[in-house]
């Protein structure tokens, strides 16, 4: 009976770990080492209709990292924030110093797990 209980417990632990969003954990781990604030420029404002017929409001932007390299990214935003942007507008960008391609903008829609994890890690 102990053997079966042990096997069941190990299987449950493996199942739980397999469900963790590894990319989110990785991003937040990098953010712990510090983020840098810079100014970016909106290059495109667009919408995208997903498979669930929910419209996504996206902005494409570019920013310059600490090494002078121009980086490009896309951010999903709530509609009330999205309507404020037009191509050429400036915006504040936070990017990870150790991985400058990981960035985010204020008001960006992020998974609840990521917000919860960030709060715990701070």
Alpha-carbon span 114 to 104, nearest angstrom: 12
> Are 37 and 94 spatial neighbours (Cβ–Cβ below 8 Å)?
yes
Alpha-carbon span 17 to 22, nearest angstrom: 9
What's the pLDDT at 120?
80
Q: Determine which helix (DSSP H) or strand (DSSP E) holds 40, and give its type and residue range.
A: strand 35-49
Residues counted in the chain: 122
pLDDT tens for the chain, residues 1 to 122: 889 899 999 988 888 777 777 677 777 777 777 888 999 999 999 998 765 555 689 999 999 998 999 999 999 999 999 999 999 999 999 999 888 998 989 888 887 887 787 788 77
Tell which residue, 57, 45, 48, 49, has the closest CA to residue 91: 45
Q: Is the pTM of this model over 0.75?
A: no
């Amino acid at each position: 009976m102990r053997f079966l209980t042990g096997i069941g417990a190990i299987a449950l632990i493996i199942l739980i770990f397999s469900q963790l969003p590894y990319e989110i954990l990785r991003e937040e781990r990098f953010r712990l080492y510090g983020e840098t604030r810079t100014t970016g420029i909106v290059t495109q404002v667009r919408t995208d209709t997903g498979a669930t017929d929910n419209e996504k409001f996206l902005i494409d932007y570019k920013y310059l990292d600490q090494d002078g390299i121009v980086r490009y990214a896309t951010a999903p935003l709530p509609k009330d924030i999205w309507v404020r942007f037009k191509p050429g507008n400036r915006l504040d960008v936070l990017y990870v110093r150790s991985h400058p391609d990981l960035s985010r903008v204020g008001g960006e829609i992020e998974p609840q797990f990521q917000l919860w994890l960030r709060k715990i890690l701070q």
